[in-house]
Structure formats: C-alpha cells, structure tokens
Amino acid sequence: MVFKRRDRRPLWKVVAEFLYPRGGWVRAFEYVKHRVRRLPDTPEKIARGIWAGVFTTFTPFFGLHFIIAFIIAKIMRGNILAALLATFFGNPLTYVPIAAVSLQTGHLLLGRRPHGPVETSLGEKFAGAWADLWHNVMAIFTPDRADWHGLRLFYDEVFFPFMVGGIIPGIIAGSIAYYLSVPLIRAYQNRRKKALRAKLGQLVRGTENPADDGPGSG
C-alpha cells in the first residue's frame, strides 16, 4: 500500500509517543495553536469550535471525544476542525486533573462522598472495570460465571459522577477558552490581512513602475 508505514512501530513506542510526542508537548501545543489560528473562518465560529472541543474533554467518553466534539460543534455552528483540534486540551498531562475536578464535582452534586482519594479511586475502578470486562468475555468460552460487580461499581462511582460533574467545569473551561480565543484569533487574522495587503501593494507598485532599463530610457 502507498500510505502504509514501512517501519512498523512496536506497541511500546506507540504508547510512549502518545504519552510524550516527538518534540515534546510544548511543540505539539504550538503546532495545534498554529493550525487553529490559520483556519479560514470567523473568530467567533472558530472559538465556538474550540468551546466544543474543550468541553468534550470533561466527558468520560474516552475514545469518542472526536465524535462528541464534532456533534457539539455542528449544533453550535462552530468550526469542526477547530473542535477536533481543541480536544488536544485533554491529554496525558491534563487527564488526571480533569478527572479529579469532574469526579469531585459530580460526587458533590449527587450528595455522595468518594471512597478514598479521587486519583486512587479512579485507577482502582478503571482496573476493576477492565478486569471484569475481560473476565466476562473469557467466561463465554470457559465454565466461569460472568461477574459484573466491578463494572457496576465503575458506573456508580466513576462514570456517572464523572458525566454529571464534568458539565459545570467543562462549561467554565470552554467559555474561558472561547473568550480568550476570539480576540487572539481576530488580532492574528488582522495582522495577516495587513501583511497580505502590504505584499499585494508591493507587487502592484512593481508592475506599475517597471525598471527604466528598456529602449529609450535615459
């Protein structure tokens, strides 16, 4: 195939580059910021897309963030590509604080108290849910009985509180990103327009005043 990688990367390298991309997270962030600023759309529409992407990172639907950001941006009439790029707000460096804030808020709104530190509880519940899921899949082919206790615990103490609690901080973070993005994108677009007009003016002046080196000059 034409677009198939010639050097197949081992799994550990794929995971390592996901946790720490080539060039570091600063370079990756600069790349995303550069792409967002150069999108051919109004500042408000791009910012609405950014709002959708940032808000989506506060939902527990990991693996579906692109789809959710796309849907929200479509409803808000925001820039779709900006929404997809803005999901970069959720990355291995921010997932833990996002989850902690969302879970704490969710337990508070639901009138519950999390069992132990949120970070520890989150890791334990994820491990329990995956263990249950793997065991239940294998139980189809073995005499073992399926046990959904870990998944029920995960839903009650992690997924549902995360889903409820992520709404408020997601709206706050998305709104901050929106109101910061609009003036920055507008200023960048205005500077770019001025630079393009200046270049166009130089080209026009160059065609109107050709060098006096033709016949009859002097």
Confidence of residue 140 (pLDDT cuts 50, 70, 90): confident
How high is the pLDDT of residue 92? Answer: 79
Percent of the chain residues past pLDDT 90, beyond the cut: 31
Which range among 1-5, 29-33, 168-172, 207-211 shows the weakest confidence by mean pLDDT? 1-5
Which range among 104-108, 113-117, 155-159, 214-218 shows the weakest confidence by mean pLDDT? 214-218
How high is the pLDDT of residue 35? Answer: 65
The vertex-75 CA angle with 60 and 96, nearest 5°, equals 20
pLDDT of 20 > 80? The answer is no
The torsion angle over the Cα atoms of residues 201, 206, 209 and 213, rounded to 10 degrees, is 170
Instruction: Work out the average pLDDT over 179-205.
Output: 81
Whether pTM > 0.85 for this model: the answer is: no
Interatomic CA distance for residues 164 and 60, integer angstroms: 10
Interatomic CA distance for residues 11 and 80, integer angstroms: 30
pLDDT of 11 > 50? The answer is no
Give the mean pLDDT of the chain. Answer: 78
46, 82 contact by CB (below 8 A):
yes
Which range among 23-37, 49-63, 176-190 shows the weakest confidence by mean pLDDT? 23-37
